[in-house]
Structure 1
Amino acid sequence: MIINRMAKAMKQRDWSLVIIELALVFAGVFIALQFDNWNTHRRNQAALTEMLQRVSAELDLNVEVIDQMRERIDRGAGSRDIAQQALSTCDDGPDARAAINQTISFLTGDFSPSLSNETLPQLNRRDPYLDLLSSEFRWALAVYSNQVQEEQRQLQFNAGLRWDQHVMKHPSVSADLTGALGGLYISPEVSVSSLCNDASFIRQFYVTSVFLDSTLLRLQRFSDRMEEFRIVLDAEIANRS
C-alpha cells in the first residue's frame, strides 16, 4: 500500500508525500529491527539466567561429590592409623595384621572423583552471553573455569601415579578371590616384623596412603575456591532477577 502511494505521488510529482512515505518506510524498518534486537536480547537474557542456574547446580553436585569422597577417606582413617602404628612398632599381633590387611584392601578403592564441568565450557564459548555478564563475574568465571579443569587433570594424574606405586603390587600381598578374607591381605608366611624391615613394602605402603591425604587436601582447597566462586555467581544471578 505504501509503495502504491509512493508510486502515485511520484507520478504526480508530489515530493512532500514521497518524503513522508519514505520516512514511514524507514521508521517501520527501524522499529522492526529494534524489536528484533530487543526480542533477541530478551531471549539471550533468559537463556543466560538458565545457564547460570545450571552452573550453580553443578557446583552443588561437586560439593556433594567432594563431601562423599571425604567421608570415604575418613572411614578408612582408623584402620590406616592402626596399620601405620603396627608397621612402625613391628607388631605381629592379629589385630595389627588385620588392620594392615584392611588398609591395603581399602587403598584399592577409587579416590579420584569426577568433577562436573559441562556448563562452564558452553558458557565460555557463547560471546553474546558473556557480553551480558558483569566484568567482575567474567573474571571470576575465567579463574574458576581454569581451576576446575586443572583440578580434574591433577586428580587424574595423581590417581595414575598412585596405581603405578600401589602397595597391592608388592610380592608380599596376596589376593583373596573367594572373598573369605575380604580382598587383599599379607601372605600368611610373611610376618609384620619382616614387612616393617622391608624398605620396598614400607615405601609402597606409605606412598599409596599419602596419595589419599594429598587428594583430601586438594579437595578441601578446591571446596574453598568453589565457595568463593559461588558468592560471585549468586550475586550475578540475584542481579538478573
Structure 2
Amino acid sequence: MRGIKMKMTETLKELEKELGYQFRDINLLKQAVTHSSYSNEKNMGKLGCNERLEFLGDAVLEVISSEFLYQKFPILQEGELTKKRASMVCEPTLALCAREIRLDNYLLLGHGEENTGGRKRDSIVSDALEAVIGAIYLDGGLASAKEFILKHVLNDMEHKQLFYDSKTILQEIVQEHGNNPVSYQLIREDGPDHNKIFTVEVRVKQEVLGVGQGHTKKAAEQAAAYQAVMALRKTKVKYVSKKH
C-alpha cells in the first residue's frame, strides 16, 4: 500500500512539471485527475472525483478568458468577443491544450472507462483540464490560475482559432474562386466499436485537399479541414476550383 502511495506521489510530481505549477496541497491535483468512474470503482464517494473542481475551473476560465479578450481586442463588440471566447475554450480546443501538456496520460479512470477509450475522449480530457484550473485556483489563488491559463490555454490564439474554425475557413478559401462544394468522405473505420478511429478525406470535386482522423466522424472532418487549410497556407496557394 505504501509503495502504491509513493508511486502516485511520484506521478503527480511529474504532472506538476508538465503543468509548470507546484501544489501546496497535492491532494487537489490528485482529485483533479480523478474521473468519476475511478472514484466509483474505488468506493471514494461522489465527492472523490473531479466534477466539483471542473465546475469551479470552468467559471475561473470564463472570467480570465473574458478579461483577456476584452483587453486584447478593445474595439470588438460583444458578439465577436463571445465568438472568440467560444473558439478558445470549447471542448475540442481544451482537449488539444490538455494533450499538449500530456494531461491525458495522468488521468485516473475506472477499468471500464479505460477499456472503452475514455482516455482519448475530448469530453473527459477537457473536463480534467478545467478541474486542474479549479485545483490551481484553490491552491494558489486567482493569480496562479491566470498564469496557468495564459500559458497553456490562451497562448497561440491564431492557431487554436484556426483549429476550431477550420471547416468554415476552408469553405471560405474554396468559395473565393468558385462555387464548387467542399465534401467530406469517410474512407476507413478502424478499431472496435467502443474505440473506433475514423479516417476522412476532404475534397473539392475529385481533388483531395486533406486527410484527418478522429474518434468521431465530426472530429475526423475537422482534422481533415485543418490539414487542408494548413497545407494551403504553407504553400501560399489558394485552391482555385475548376469551372466547366
Give the TM-score taking structure 1 as reference length.
Answer: 0.25
Higher helix share: 1
- Larger RCO (alpha carbons 8 Å, 6+ apart): 1
Select the structure of larger CA radius of gyration: 1
Higher strand share: 2
Give the TM-score taking structure 2 as reference length.
Answer: 0.24
